[in-house]
Structure 1
Amino acid sequence: MYKKNIILNSAKLGFCSILIAASVYGALGTEVITAEASSNEINTKVAQQVVSQFKDVDKGNYAFEAINWAKDRGIVEGYPDGTFKPNESITEAQFAKMLAEFLKIKDEKGDLIKYTPDKHWSDTYYDGLASYGVPLNGYFENSLRNTAVKRGVIAQTIGHMTGNANALSDSIYYMIGEGITTGQNPQFEGTDLFKFFGSNNNLTRGQVAAFLYRMHNANVDSATGISLLAYKNEEGLSLVGQANKGMSKLDKSLRVGKLGSETPVTGGGNNDGNTKPNPPVENSPDYNDAKLPVSETAKSVDVETVNKLVDSLSSSTYQKLKDSGREVTFTDAGSTVGFDKNTFVIKMQSGNYKGSVSYKKTDNPDLIVGIVKDLYGISIPKNEVFSSDKGTIYTSKYMIESYGSTLLISIGDFRAK
């Protein structure tokens, strides 16, 4: 809202000086502008003063509309000096506030007992988000709340809160499909999803405002029945349990904190003076989203890699692999899945070759044939799968070698050079 008085004698004087007194009213208070300029220039300056709610965010900023929308909605407040700092990396605590305000999530389920019990300005937001199991790192440690949050964390948070995805890859695909992001590194498009999106890169405050604004424009917000708001704690977990569940959903590459403790220790030192949290335990991996069984003793299994393999298999081959009773024991380099202490290893990509499958004589030949067909598009006769009595089988497209009870099929271009 504004009003202006313009004193103009254009009929006799032509291009003359214009004295303008503009009073601007709004979130920034009242400001009077006096200038000599053309009427078009003055109108532009007045308009910018009216809509710009932060002195370091003008119409030239790509997130101009998003930031001002977020300010109007109470999602952001800015800094005491009247700036927003749109190009500054956003901390996880700042993001937690924006997320909670965007979804209108209230702190109604109690207070988290943190490993670092000192109060933090973001406590109320983390308490509210914990009740929905939102994937974040800083529930129990203030220091983590003050560090920059990764793009991948925000992707998984958005995937979770919309009820559309849990895994990092699925969350990124969802954001791209909904127009929430266009990626960060186009040179990796079609070759490396995580580098294309920039999963381990930091975000700026302006970028997060833009993400939420695009979600709002796509009717994906608290006012339109977002599925997260219907989230039910069917397992009856405590608030700490819910927070732990959210942390465990984060992709392994994004986890920087530790899980909290369900059991308080008597002896004082915390908010109520009677209990304090146990020292947090190291993250125990959560393989609930893996599409193949993972061994309880596994230490380095990436769920994304496991699911990438499964998604490349036909339903019949996938079922045969599950029926084999094998458990995943390791993954490597985003393209290798090992089972049962390396007795069965599938490499979707392997150096100069397209890939390979290592297996035992006791394995189902139909399973081996199906894996090779689904992953590499090559049909291998079933009678060649076990070649120990035939020596090395060598063709232009694959080679089968025998190493005692273990066999190896390597897929590649074996034509004579």
Structure 2
Amino acid sequence: MIGRKFLLAGLCIMMFFSGYSVHAEEIKFQDVGEDHWAKDTIQWAVNEKIVDGYPDNTFKPEQVVGQKEFIALLVRTYKPSDFSLDDPNNTGEWSYPYTHFAFSYGWYVIVPFHQPKGSDIGLARGQAAKIIADATGKNYNQQDSIRYLLDNGFVEGKVDNSFEGFKEGDPLTRAEALTMIKRVRSKLDKLQKSPKETVKYEPKSEK
């Protein structure tokens, strides 16, 4: 009887760890090696169903992220209760629910003229910072948004954590976008609406 109990317990333990290993199985991409600096972040984003790879089993971590894509990544990370993929006004554009949500929250969204349906525009790091700052419930200009995010630990710079080191004009890659968003998620519990009026950022005084 005792041996049978140990056998059953052993089977239960094996089933538990077997199920866990399947759940935690790493998703490998051809262009994301074991030594890639953003490997863990990309794995996190895929596991959380924030982003997918491409049909050719690549992730394209160094590809410039589009504005619609970035907003979608941000919304998928938080899964806000007032967001819905179903909208009767949607004309078939995959990004419509995400950009519509961003507009409704007063976030900074670039609307280019004569943009073909389904296209996207690449984001610079500073433009992404403005969107993130808006999503924290602020409304600063782009430069103040960067300073605010750096001062409060929402993001890190590309070279260092100074304003110049943030490199606002550099294109934002898919890997960098996920790194930014993951860090914001660790600091911000809920996406916020941005006030209509732009204000000046006043850095916290040092004690």
What TM-score do the two structures reach when normalised by structure 1?
0.38
Would the aligned equivalents of 1:162 and 1:227 in 2 still touch at CA under 8 Å?
yes
Name the amino acid aligned to 1:155: A
Distance 2:49 2:40 in 1: 14
Per-residue deviation at 1:197?
A: 1.9
| Aligned match for 1:199, one of 140, 160, 168 | 168
What's the RMSD between the two structures over aligned residues? 3.5
Is residue 2:59 matched to residue 1:84?
Answer: yes
Match of 2:26 among 51, 54, 57: 51
- SS of the residue 2:179 aligns to: helix
For 2:182, the equivalent position in structure 1 comes to: 213
Once the two structures are superposed, the pairs formed by residues 101-112 of structure 1 within 5 Å of their partners are 101-105=76-80, 106-107=83-84
Q: 1:131 aligns with which of 104, 108, 111?
A: 104
Consecutive unaligned residues in structure 1, runs of 5 or more: 4-24, 28-46, 234-244, 246-287, 291-306, 312-417
Which residue does 1:366 correspond to in 2?
none
**Contact 1:159–1:165 (Cα < 8 Å) also in 2:** yes
Change (3 A) 1:64 1:232: closer
- In structure 2, how many angstroms separate the alpha carbons of the residues matched to 1:232 and 1:86? 29
Residue 73 of structure 1 is matched in structure 2 by 48
Tell me if 1:177 matches 2:151: yes
Partner of 1:327: none
Distance change (3 Å), C-alpha of 1:145 and 1:131: farther
Which of 120, 126, 149 does residue 93 from structure 2 map onto?
Answer: 120
- Counterpart amino acid of 1:201? D
Larger CA Rg, structure 1 vs 2: 1
Counterpart of 1:51 in 2: which secondary structure?
Answer: coil
How do residues 10-409 of structure 1 correspond to structure 2 at under 5 angstroms?
Answer: 26=22, 50-105=25-80, 106-107=83-84, 119-138=92-111, 142-143=115-116, 146-186=120-160, 193=163, 195-216=164-185, 218-220=186-188, 224=189, 226=190, 228=192, 231=193, 288-289=197-198, 307=200
- Amino acid corresponding to residue 97 of structure 1 in structure 2: A
**For residue 128 of structure 1, what is the amino acid of its counterpart?**
F
- Aligned counterpart, 1:326: none
The alignment partner of 1:96 has SS state of helix
User: Judging changes above 3 Å, is the alpha-carbon distance between structure 1 residues 232 and 90 closer, same or farther for their aligned structure 2 residues?
Assistant: closer
Q: How far apart in 2 are the matches of 1:232 and 1:215? A: 16
Relative distance call for 1:150 and 1:97 in structure 2 (3 A) is same
Q: Which has the higher helix share?
A: 2
Q: Which runs of 5+ in 2 are unaligned?
A: 1-13, 15-20, 203-207
- The one-letter code matched in structure 2 to 1:146 is D
Q: Higher strand share goes to which structure?
A: 1
Verify the 8 A CA contact 2:134 2:194 in the aligned structure 1.
no
Q: Which has the higher contact order (CA 8 A, sep 6+)?
A: 2
Q: Give how far 1:208 is off.
A: 0.6
Matched to 1:289, the amino acid is T
Contact 1:120–1:142 under 8 Å retained in 2: no
Say whether the 8 Å CA contact 2:108–2:134 is kept in structure 1.
yes
Residue 104 to residue 139, structure 1, CA distance change in 2 (3 Å): farther
Per-residue CA shift, 1:251-292, capped at 9, x if unaligned? xxxxxxxxxxxxxxxxxxxxxxxxxxxxxxxxxxxxx425xx
1:219 Cα offset (Å) = 3.8
| Matched position secondary structure for 2:102 | helix
CA distance in structure 2 between the partners assigned to 1:103 and 1:152 by the alignment: 21
Deviation, structure 1 residue 201: 1.9
Distance 1:120 1:162, change over 3 A: same
- The Cα of 1:57 is off from its aligned counterpart by 1.6
1:81 is aligned with what amino acid? D
1:119-164 alpha-carbon deviations (Å, 9 max, x no partner) = 4221121122221112111488644951211211210111111124
Deviation at 1:84, TM superposition (A): 0.9
